[in-house]
Every structure is written in structure tokens, then in C-alpha cells.
A and B are shown apart, each in its own frame.
Chain A
Amino acid sequence: MSLWEYANPKKFMQVSAGVLPWMAGLTGLCLGVGLIWGFFFTPDDFRQGSTVKIIFLHVPSAMMAINAWVMMLVASLIWLVRRHHVSALAARAAAPVGLTFTAIALVTGALWGQPMWGTWWAWDPRLTAFLILALFYLGYIALWQAVEDPDTAADLTAVMCMVGSVFALLSRYAVKFWNQGLHQDSTILKVGEKDPIAPVFYVPLVVCIFGFVLLFVALVLMRTRTEIRARRLSALLARERLA
């Protein structure tokens, strides 16, 4: 029994078929509870008013936008080292999801920034780094689509993902150096401070974060299954053409 057994497409399809409905149900539950609780059953902030509630979408999606890239990096490394096709397809499947999370984080941030900072957009380090991250996602997806041979595409995107990770980190620190920002630091994991976020917001926020993690896993599982089916279909068609 080892983890690598699940890299077998057949085994992966079997297991994921069983897991996926539960995962989807749990996602719906967490997001439903977290968002409804967050939007309708928390008080307005005394300075930010109701705009504070955008935190329930903004923070989890921003976290997942970065985590999705990390997951793609790990999956790419597994593909390069162990040549498991499921891993490469999972990385491919995760990219559009990650891009969507990035877009959600940027848009919700702009919606909050307009009333609070008085501007939709500022060239703040965090905002800029996220825009650059979105560009990396776009390039990654475009490279997958441009290369015809699937194994070549998997190899090239894996290399691009590794190099891109280094440069995304570099950009993160470069923009920090370049401009001092409006955006606050992350408050969720601040150690040593008692209640950096009021508990009344904190609990639904954690539920939402779990919901977004589950949503990401469920979407990636579903999209990976689609990719595997598409791969099988093209193999069948190729065999048919030869026969």
C-alpha cells in the first residue's frame, strides 16, 4: 500500500468517483454555512460598515490562488521525477481554477478598495504581485494549449512552472521594494496578538476557508477526471484511425 498506487489512472478514477460526491457535498455545506453566516449573521464593522463582509470571499480565494500554484508546482515535480500522467493532468486541471481564484481575489479587492481606500486599484505590492501571478497562470495555460503533443506539453509546462515559481517569488519581493503599499499584512495567523480578528468574524471566515479548500480539491478532482477521460478518448480515436 503506497500513495503512488493512486497515480494509476484506473485506480484514481475508481477512488475519485467515490470521493468526489462527498467532497462536493462537504464543499456546498461549508461554503453555504460559511457564506450565509458571514453575509447575514455577522454585525457590520463600526468603521467599514457592511463592506467588511467581503473578507469571506477575498481572503479564502487569495489564499487558494497561491496554494493552487504551489499544488501545481508539486504535481509538476512529481511528473518530472516519477512520470505519473495523472500528476501532470492534475497540474493542468488546477491552473484555470487557480486563475479564477486570482481573479476573484482581485475583483473583490477592487470592490472593497473603492469605498475604503477611495480607489479601485493601487500599485500596491500585494495587488501588483497578484496581477503578475495572474499573468503566470495565463502563460501556463497558454503553453499547455499551444503544444500539441501531450507529453511534451506536460514536460514544458512543468519546467515553466518551476522557473515561474522562482520568478513569482522574486517579483513578490521586488514589488515590495518598489512601492510601499496600502494593503495590510495578513492578520489571520498573527501570533502573539490576542484576537487579531474579532471572533464574530473569525469563525465564519475559517469555515469559508475550509469551504474554499474543499472547493479547490473538488474542482481539481473533477477536472482531472475530465482530462483523463479526454486522454482516453483521444487514444481510442487514434486507435480507430490506425485500424
Chain B
Amino acid sequence: MKALLLRDVRLAIRAGGGFGLGLAFFLLVAVLVPLGVGPEPATLAKIAPGILWVGALLACLLSLDRIFALDFEDGSLDLLATAPIPLEGVVAIKAFAHWLVTGLPLTLVAPVLAVLLNLPGPGYLWLVVSLLAGTPALSVIGAFGAALVVGVKRGGLLLSLLVLPLYVPTLIFGAEVVKRGASGTEVSVPLLLLAGITAGAVALLPFAAAAALRVNLR
């Protein structure tokens, strides 16, 4: 499992893996939004939590189809399915690898982009905390979506249609944490709900994703 994790991370980081694309996209969103809505600091401060979360979510979406598609095409997914580790474990490891190369970097650069969007001071800590708690759910839900469409040619658009509605609860609670954090109110309720969704998704969705993969590999 460790070998699989290292392999996935290496493949993603090396040339052609699309690593950094998500980050660049996130940066673009943070640059384009002020250009679109105007530079007033008060407006930006108001929408910053939502924009940062939506940007992170979309950046995460960009690289989802890579979780299984390449391995499905060259047949290594068949090998993994017959390997001694359970397919549920493969899914969990691959989602974790996806999180390491997208969710984690997004979390780390988010405070920098928050400066561009004039996020109020107390919000920075909660931005990082909420992304840290929420992005694993984005990766696991995304892995489930990717497992559903792995057999479909050019499934990218379909993948976004399937996955985005599933991202709604995570987005709502994640942005709420930052919004409350930025205005200095109590954040524990949305933060706990966000963490709950992540825990539930991480625990249960690998099974659903593995079931979908088995169907697609039939």
C-alpha cells in the first residue's frame, strides 16, 4: 500500500502528471474574481471565504479524472484489482495520494491567496483549518465519482455533473467556518459538521467506489 501511495504521488508530481495545474487554477480564480467584481476591499472581504472555497473545490475537480483513468487505460487497474490488497484499500490510497498532491497544496497556498482577496485577519487560521478538514472529503467523493465514470470515454464533463452536487454539503460548511471565523463568531458547529462529513465520506465511500470499479472492470 505504501508502494502504491509513493507510486501515485511520484506519477502525479513528475512531468505530465498535472501537478500544479490545480494550484495555477486556484491562483487564476483568486485573480479573476477581483477583476470581475471590482477592487473595493469591503466587498472582497465579504466574498473572500466563499470564493476561496469555491476555487479550492473547482481546482480539486480538475485533476479528479486522473485518479483512475490512466491506470484503467494501461491495465494497471486490473492488476491492482487482483492484487492481494483489497480494492477498497486501493481506492482509499489513491484518494489519499490525490489529496496529498491537490488538497494539501491548496490548503497551504490558500492563506497567500486570501491576502489578495482581503480576508479579514482572524479568518486565516480558520481558512487553513477548514480546508484541512474539508479537502479530504473532496478527494474521496471525487474518487467515487471518478470510479463511476472510469469506463466512459471523455467522462470529464459527466464527472463534474455527478460530483458537484455531492460537494454541496462540504462547500456550505467549509465556507461557513471561514465566514464565521473571519467575523470572529463561534465556529465549532459548522467545523464539527464539516469534519463529520469528511469522516463519514472517508469511512464509507471507498466501499461504494470499489463497488463501482468492480462493475467497470467486469
Q: How many A-B residue pairs have CB under 8 A?
A: 76
Number of interface residues of A (CB under 8 A): 26
Interface of A is mostly: helix
Cβ-defined contact, A171 with B149, below 8 A: no
Interface of B is mostly: helix
Q: Shortest CB–CB separation between residue A181 and chain B, in angstroms? A: 14
Contact of A163 among B155, B166, B168 (CB under 8 A): B166
Cβ-defined contact, B148 with A160, below 8 A: yes
User: Which chain A residues border B124 with CB–CB below 8 Å?
Assistant: none
Contact of B151 among A147, A159, A162, A164 (CB under 8 A): A147
Please judge, given known A-B contacts A159-B148, A159-B208, A175-B172, whether A139 and B162 are in contact too, CB under 8 Å: yes
Cβ-defined contact, A132 with B158, below 8 A: no
For residue A40, CB closer than 8 A to chain B, the reply is no
User: Which chain B residues border A146 with CB–CB below 8 Å?
Assistant: 149, 152, 155, 158
Please judge, given known A-B contacts A143-B148, A146-B149, whether A171 and B168 are in contact too, CB under 8 Å: yes
Cβ-defined contact, A156 with B161, below 8 A: no
* A231→B166 CA distance, assembly (Å): 31
User: Which chain B residues border A212 with CB–CB below 8 Å?
Assistant: none
Q: Please classify how large the interface on chain B is, using the bins under 10, 10 to 19, 20 to 34, 35 or more.
A: 20 to 34
For residue A4, CB closer than 8 A to chain B, the reply is no
Cβ-defined contact, B211 with A178, below 8 A: no
| 20 sample A-B contacts, Cβ–Cβ < 8 Å, listed by A number | A132-B165, A132-B168, A139-B158, A139-B161, A142-B158, A143-B162, A152-B151, A152-B215, A156-B215, A163-B166, A167-B169, A170-B169, A170-B197, A174-B172, A174-B173, A174-B193, A175-B172, A177-B173, A177-B193, A178-B176
